Amino acid sequence: MFPGFPHVSSSISTIAEVLTHYRELQRFLSNKLGNRFDAEDIAQSSYEQLLSSLQGRRGASIESPRALLFRIARNLCVDHYRSQQTARDWAAGHAAAQGLQAAPASDYIAAQRQIIERVVAQLMRLPRARREVFILFRAYGMSRTEIATRLGIQESTVAKHVVRATLDCAHIFAELQASLPEHVEPANGYRDADDGPGGQDSR
């Protein structure tokens, strides 16, 4: 097909083969992730990584392109789960830093958990690049220069992603904190020493 460039013909043939597995891959990822949008995102990234791998091989044959495609997809799922956990840890830490975890009542605990889950959900809805930059910056403490070098993007792009993601998450925090039930228990979890049972003054 491309005289003098046999590796090009080989790569195109392999790509044509794995494209026939796209719907199968989407179903696999949807079942694994329980989210059609994340499945589509990871399916696209899987093909991008496969294409990059083929370009690096320059015609070297792949025994099972389908197996490689699904292995890439499974690895991306692992990265996705790790991102979710990192986001959850960051959200919980952020809540703690704002003093939201001082021996609260049960309804307050439930409200805190709602905040954390909503923030995590918000993070996971962000575009992949924005989410990755934000997690590297906030959760891992990497500098903008380090992130730009790692991801191969401009520092100005890193800054833009951080600002936008921060605004998104801050909006959710502000919205949910405003709806928290009033926390009436003391931070140390004890009533005043002079209070009797039920919090009434025993004197």
* CB proximity list for 56: less than 8 A, separation 6 or greater: none
What is the per-residue pLDDT for 103? 45
pLDDT score at 71: 92
Cα 163 to chain centroid distance, Å, stands at: 17
Q: What pLDDT is stored for residue 85 in this prediction?
A: 77
Domain ranges of the chain: 1-81, 98-183
The pLDDT score that the predictor gives to residue 115 is 66
pLDDT score recorded for residue 99: 52
Strand partners, 201: 195
Secondary structure of 128-164 as H, E, C letters: HHHHHHHHHHHHCCCCHHHHHHHHCCCHHHHHHHHHH
Mean pLDDT by 10 residues, the chain (203 residues): 39 72 89 84 84 66 82 88 75 60 56 69 80 82 87 88 79 62 42 41 41
| pLDDT attached to residue 200 | 44
**Which class in CATH covers the domain with range 1-81?**
mainly alpha
Q: Report pLDDT for 202.
A: 40
Q: Which fold has domain 98-183?
A: Arc Repressor Mutant, subunit A (1.10.10)
The pLDDT, as a whole number, for residue 108 is: 59
